[in-house]
Amino acid sequence: MSKHAALFRSLNLGDGELAVVVKDCIDIAGYPTVAGSPALATAAPALRNADVVDALLLGGCRIVGKANLHELAFGVTGQNLFTGSPRNPLYPHLVPGGSSSGSAVAVAEGLVDFAIGTDTGGSIRTPAACCGIVGLKPTFGRVSRKGASPQDSTLDCIGPLARTVAQIEQAMAIIAPGYTGVENEDLSFAVIRPGFVDPDVMSMFDRALASFSEEDLSADLRYLELAHTANLALIGHETFAAYGHLLASGMLGEDVARRLAAAATIGQREISEAERVRILFRQEVDALLDRFDVIVTPTMPCFPLALADAGDAGAALRMTALVRPFNLSGHPAITVPVITDGNAPIGIQVIGRHGEDEVVCAFARRLERSLARSDNRKEATR
């Protein structure tokens, strides 16, 4: 295990040049998939690799470890008393974010070229934003989930985390069949500025966008908050279906046990309403993307939680208010980090049409270059 608990298990699989870690809710043959939980500590070794693991090994990667995570991939802060909590390398006073905390920390520490995580309610984009790196949730189904836990999900996506958009695209070319980058720089975008975003975050977001483009068309997604609530209902329902039986073991961490117990009370009426909202929100996003190539939002409506506040469940869930909705709709979404003048990061999220992950990355690549130029100008004037 690394000194910052990014890795749950050190490995040395494959002889490729690209060093990668894989979140430990993804099967690697011969090793148990523990998912950060003492309730699964005695699980039998996986019999075969997940599809994404085979793709990595065939694509010139060397898997150097299984990455730590929030227990059962069912948490936002990345804190884990059983395995040890990964420490945010760039912002050690803040949570690393979850659930793909170890994947994000391994990238931010420079241990790997890129990492593989999973994203059901922001679990790639949230830790990426907390740790000041890039993270992509691909279009739902773009990357095979065979061999990932939980096995059945209408929300979960496997995707990469890296320090640059170029590395994200390098990873996607390996794990997503048919991925080919595009160079189109003339992409239109709409900006969503929800009223619930903290003023300081919005101010930094607006300054970053101003350095990127003078064009800025604000738009609305009126089902955005309902989509967040709908995601919470569905993720609770689906996670309880997969792991609810573990409650009887008494071995789950307190926060995960509490969420699973609450999920047991989600009824069919809530699920039906969540599915209704899924359709309406997807249609709303698609309609906006008929007019623009991509949609841009802050990645989180607030700064990452301080470690001292990691036990505040409501504040933790608030961090995901702008990422969860796009798990519900299935659209691809990437977060690009913004260097701020303070001691906390923000991210810019870019959302695109279903199947147009390449366009999302092309826009993010252009945004990344603009932000880098702006940072260089700041340094030159100091």
Instruction: Specify whether 100 is catalytic.
Output: no
Q: Is 23 part of the annotated catalytic residue set?
A: yes
Question: Is-catalytic flag, 3?
Answer: no
Q: Please give the structure tokens belonging to residue 357.
A: 């992950």
Q: Active-site residue among 37, 85, 99, 153?
A: 99
Q: Single out the catalytic residue among 23, 66, 103, 137.
A: 23
Cα distance between residue 300 and residue 127, in whole Å: 10
| Cβ-proximal residues to 48 (8 Å cutoff; 6+ apart), any chain | 27, 29, 147
Instruction: Indicate which residue of 85, 123, 153, 329 is catalytic.
Output: 123
Q: For the chain, what is the HEC assignment?
A: CCCCCCEEEEEEECCCCEEEEEECCECCECCECCCCCHHHCCCCEECCCCHHHHHHHHCCEEEEEEECCCHHHCCCCCCCCCCCCCCCCCCCCECCCCCCHHHHHHHHHCCCCEEEEEECCCCCHHHHHHHCCEEEECCCCCCCCCCECCCCCCCCEEEEEECCHHHHHHHHHHHCCCCCCCCCCCCCEEEECCCCCCHHHHHHHHHHHHCCCCCCEEECCCCHHHHHHHHHHHHHHHHHHHHHHHHHHCCCCHHHHHHHHHHCCCCHHHHHHHHHHHHHHHHHHHHHHHHCCEEEEECCCCCCCEHHHCCCHHHHHHCCCCCHHHHHHCCCEEEEEECCCCCCCEEEEEEECCCCHHHHHHHHHHHHHHHHHHHHHHHHCC
CB 365 within 8 A of CB 164: no
- As given in the structure block, the two tokens for residue 294 are 């991509």
State the catalytic residues: 23, 99, 123
